Amino acid sequence: MRRFTTRLRLEPAGPSRASDLWTVHEDEEVWPWYGTARPSPRQAERWAASMGESWRLHGVHKWIAYDRMSGEVVGRGGLSRTPVDDDWGQIYAFLPAEPWVRVPYGVRRPFVAHANWLELGWALRGRFQGRGYASEIGRAGLAFAFDVLGAQAVVSCTARHNVRSRAVMERIGMRYAGEIRTRGMVEGVEGERDDAPFAVCVRLRKDRGR
């Protein structure tokens, strides 16, 4: 499941890459988007174990991105299957009214997930931001979703005020679809909220040639 872009080597995240995952998430430009405190190495180990399990059971999850020349950790990103629950069910409003949208994935562990659409995301260490790396990860994720996994759609969500990520979504050909409310950060408000506004962008398989 390794992938290469022009400048990056993308390796499946798992327990053996926990320290590199922590390197990304403890970065000053990354962790404030994911919680109210800098994560510990132990937290990163738990995340990495969960990602590795999803690669094994769901055939997909996030990659750790390395610079192909230097080997430095650039960030993490890629795809994941979304749980069939009320929170992710908000996305149904932005997808076609077709049966495939609600079909569950065949393997029901570690949770029941959607079979035909996935979530795409990325996080880059501060020193690598603004250099096009997120777009490389995003395009690699779209190609993997449609060409390898046969997905019908890919969605991407980010806090409404995360203008940098929203720009990447548009740059890689995803279209803005609307907003959902979920737990996250709100601009100008300290701490997390249960009703934070998240922008949603969508790319459908049938629109790839446009």
pLDDT in tens, 83-107: 999 999 999 999 999 999 999 999 9
**Structural contact between residues 198 and 184, judged by C-beta atoms closer than 8 angstroms:** yes
What is the residue extent of each domain of the chain?
Answer: 3-207
Q: What is the pLDDT of residue 209?
A: 63
Q: What is the pLDDT of residue 200?
A: 97
The three-point CA angle 107-181-166 to 5° equals 90
Q: How many other CB atoms are found less than 10 A from the CB of residue 56?
A: 14
Q: How far apart are CA 182 and CA 177, in angstroms?
A: 16
Q: What is the pLDDT of residue 170?
A: 96
Q: What is the pLDDT of residue 165?
A: 95
Query: Please, what is the average pLDDT of the chain?
Result: 95
Q: What is the pLDDT of residue 97?
A: 97
The low-confidence residues of the chain, meaning pLDDT below 50, are: none
**Structural contact between residues 87 and 113, judged by C-beta atoms closer than 8 angstroms:** no
Task: State both tokens at 16.
Answer: 């053996």
**Structural contact between residues 190 and 209, judged by C-beta atoms closer than 8 angstroms:** no
Superfamily name and number for 3-207? Gcn5-related N-acetyltransferase (GNAT) (3.40.630.30)
